[in-house]
Structure 1
Amino acid sequence: MRNASGSTLAYSLLVIGLGILGFIIHEQKDDLRVIHTIAAVTKELENNQNQLVKQYDQLIEVANKIALNVEEDHNIITDSHEYLHRKNVRIRGLPEIEGRSLIDMFRELASKKLGLVLEDFDIDLAQWAGPSLQDGTRPAVITFGQYAMKQKVLEKARLKLRDSPYVLFEDLFVGNGENLTELAHQRGVDACYKHISKISAPSLHKTSGMPFGAWFNDMGNSSDKTVFFMDHYFKERNVKIFDSTEDFTKDNFAGSFLIPLRWAGTGHVAYKGSLYFTKYNTTTMYRYDWMNRKVLTSRELLGAGFANQAAYQWRGSTDIDFAVDENGLWVIYATEANNWNIVLSKLNEETLEIKETFNTGWKKQWSANAFMLCGTLYVLKKYDDKQTFIHYSYDTKSGRASRPMIPFSNKFGWNAYLAYNPLEQRLYAWDNGNQVTYEVTLSDETSS
């Protein structure tokens, strides 16, 4: 009986064990099905995300093309205006005298100073073109009946008005009217007629610091070889310095100094002995005497976006970006008034007052980075693509936008800083914690 009972018990335990095993296997199958389901859903989500990213990139490309088409249409209109203005000259130095006509004063000037007798039919129109100046003179525009007469007057003026209080120059319509023409004439913006034809592969100088930061030397003083190293993009005050690029590469540290407030972004520059930067989470620009450790000037950049309202693609508080080219100090930013498109302002290097402003039709947030060269803005397409392009430019001399499509290499995959040094004709960049430079090949604009 015991044997029979034992056999029955053993059999019962076997059945129970098999039942439990079957239950476990069933549950494991359910778990496996759940795991497979989760994996499938995850893969589907990844595919959807990739598709959304692709669609976003396509939308950006479409938006870019639309923006360029708008600017090309603007260029066509500008060409028409240029034709209308081809018989105009602008003159500065004529006094505004009650009771005397502008035409009579200009004809008298032409006779006495240029040795030209102008008949009534030689001048179609004469009109004041701006407010009176402090010296009692007022800018004016003279429209000639014939283009040939205009050229004759200009030729005489170049020779005979050099040491006089009068300034006579061609009225080159460039979209922003009188102020832009005066800017080109007075400040030499039109002295540089070069454009980029090629950018070299990057040369690595050093790997140091955070993935983001700025490094540069004085872009307005060829005798000062000091290298400035500003690690990180916010809440930092410590500026490291090296005596030369060679010392920087060899890590021969010369010292450091603390600026009195925390900077924003990576768009800092050194120019003619001063360090220029923006205070974190503000639109306040600073000019700092780094040798004597004191703030020289500060000024609000009114209307500019800040705190990543109008930063470059990678954000990093890069809303306000200083730049230096052959013409001096600039600031690159965006305003709500210009639909968050890039705005360029030429700055007085001492007071930080705006001398002239140019509104582009290109979204700043579409841009990886940007720099100025010969009065032209150049914009990088992608900060995180190793092979990308300089794919937008805006010429302040002509008011025209174009798509140069110049190949550019982000060798290390994250461009956080890009600046042009006009003394060296070289680009400086900070690429994912690597400090690199690029050689720039320039061509005459007339040769393209």
Structure 2
Amino acid sequence: MSTRQIKLGAVLTGTGGPGHFNTWHDPEVPADSSIDIAWYIDQARQAEEALFDLVFIVDSQFITADSPPHYLNRLEPLTLLSALAVSTRRIGLVATLTTSYNDPFNTARRFASLDLISGGRAGWNVVTSGDAGTAANFSLDQHYDYDTRYGRALEHVRTVQGLWDSYEDDAFPRDRATGVFLDPEKQHRLDHEGEYFSVAGPLNISRSRQGQPVIFQAGDSAQGRDLGAEIAEGVFTHAASLEAGQAFYTDIKARAAAKGRDPEHVLVLPGVSVFVGDTDEEAREIELATQRADGGFEQSLAEFGRAFGWHDFRQYELDAPFPSGVLAYSERSFHTQAKQIVALAESRGLTLRQVVEAVSSPRRTPFVGSPETVADELQRWFELRALDGYNIHVGHPAQFRRLVEEVLPILRERGVLRTEYEGSTLRENLGLPFVENRYTAARRVLEPAR
């Protein structure tokens, strides 16, 4: 058996996320699945039966009429995961929550509650919000600039982690004989005074059996990578090719090591889609048919402006050169993605139509083929250190079943995928260490050895 094994997440986007506008047309996908808790419970239980490490709930707080179906009408992630916590036993429960439009105390309390409800299975995906329009939903005239977003994010996370240590693990004797419920010496105020936040504490909830929820992060800019290397135990990303995955993997691990962290405790988990057929040729046909059915040029054009602060590109002539100056609209949005799009247009001299087609048209993806072929490729990327695991996009149910029933057993036979959960907490199953309370650790260091 390999000591290093593939980690698996299941990304649940119900009626269809970006680039998957028509997933809800599938008769196996309830048309209201994004707000149907029974559907989420069923998906989470399927993933748990398949021994996935976690389910991942993405989120944002700004929409337009051009947003994909799942974004238009979906459950709030922490509320949703609390329902999944009492409907599952082992699988991790991870949700996106922005540091730009939440306060640390509320963040800490919500995730600590989920962690206790689930028995230590909570995880927080830290984002800074790329949708600039979110600001108007939170009484602000404009979204934070990049430096402010990432400065707030780091301070937000550190403040939350401090609040999670408000109580040492033995702070509550709950001794009926003596009438002692709390040992006050084991309760700690935070008294944080920073550039962006001022938080006294203590938090009014104790730690779970995994110590603290697992921190994930998503962001590919230089600042995003630095933040991930600083605070993340899992990094959600995208790998367009094996070589790109290896480059990102090497970079994020090196950044973590430079910050004094163990790079093995920073897991790289790119999001991927998988297509399985009886043969490689049939799988490619399924891939192409699915991509064509789920997309469409007009829908892609409408959503194209998201990276540019939802700038409407339908106002331009499609067959004229790609419009100049539009990068400015992305400065407080998904700037890294927008720069890549503009660079593509300029380097090839493409029209707007050609750029939209280039980023949205059907394309061959890596994990497509017969069960054996898909298993080979998933294992190859893993063993060549392009990643530590995969966030599998759960779109069409038939394809997810084929992955679970036909591909994963092959990987288990090869020893690169678990045959049972290692523990009851998300940290145990991901191979991450328990987080000792900082005050307990300090006391242990100061106390003379016995």
Q: TM-score range by the shorter chain?
A: under 0.3
The structure carrying a bigger helix percent of its residues is 2
State the structure with bigger RCO (CA 8 A, min sep 6), 1 or 2.
Answer: 2
**Which has the higher Rg, Structure 1 or Structure 2?**
1
TM-score between the two structures when normalised by the length of structure 1: 0.23
TM-score between the two structures when normalised by the length of structure 2: 0.23
